Amino acid sequence: MESGQPLIEFKGVTKTYQKGTHALNDVNIKIYKGEFVFVVGKSGAGKSTFIKLIMREETPNAGEIFVNGYELSHMRRKDIPYLRRTMGIVFQDFRVIPTMNVFDNVAFTLRVVGASQREIRRKVSHALSMVGLGNKARSYPMELSGGEQQRVGLARALVNNPTLIIADEPTGNVDPNMSYEIVELLTEINRRGTTVVMVTHEHQLVRDFNRRVVMLENGRVVADNSEGAM
């Protein structure tokens, strides 16, 4: 899997918040194109900070971060949206807009980048059929189950053909069966060439899918098992 330049690289990254919380401490990670990586750890281990740094919501106090060819530590603020367009985000709480139907929720990402109506129709239909919601395009989030809402979130994340998908505990708010479906979908997306970084605390899920696992504890990488065995 390790070939060429890494898609994500953390070089000696340290992040301390203003209140004095040491979120990450000298973290070195390389994630290559096409990898599926689980990031695990207890609450407060630094998982969220790890994702926030990748999204350039936060900047490190020390070290360098490279994502999709962007050097994030010295990135200009106006370039941040363009970095984010190269990745898709899946949230734990789905973040679907209740006043928009499924189609519009997914189309949202494309409207932001100024896609044409034709392109929107084509790409949204494709993304919805990929997550198995082709027949629910006109439904509103209220009419969907938690698992279906998360699949809308997943369709929204992949509709713009990102090179990287960041999933922040995507199974945290769905039942166990649906959790497996969600991760299977992510695995399918990964199989098609998209790099997936998934933060989770569900160890059973991690064991069953047998992928690379990065374990964080007190802001440090304490294990990085590319075989998935913990």
Would you tell me which residues interact with another protein (CB under 8 A)?
48, 51-52, 55-58, 77-78, 80-85, 88-89, 91, 93, 95, 97, 99, 108-109, 111-114, 116-117, 156, 160, 168
Q: Considering beta carbons, is residue 109 or 195 the nearer one to another protein?
A: 109
Q: Residue 228 Cβ, how far from another protein at the closest point, in Å?
A: 27
End-to-end CA distance of the chain: 19
Instruction: Tell me 7's DSSP state.
Output: S
Which region holds residue 181: left if phi is over 0, alpha if psi is between -120 and 50, else beta?
A: alpha
SS3 142: helix
Q: Residue 13 Cβ, how far from another protein at the closest point, in Å?
A: 16
Torsion of CA 120, 82, 33, 53, to 10 degrees: -130
Q: Residue 213 Cβ, how far from another protein at the closest point, in Å?
A: 22
- Measured in whole angstroms, how far is the alpha carbon of residue 25 from the centre of its chain? 22
Q: Considering beta carbons, is residue 196 or 209 the nearer one to another protein?
A: 196
Q: Considering beta carbons, is residue 54 or 205 the nearer one to another protein?
A: 54
Q: Residue 95 Cβ, how far from another protein at the closest point, in Å?
A: 5
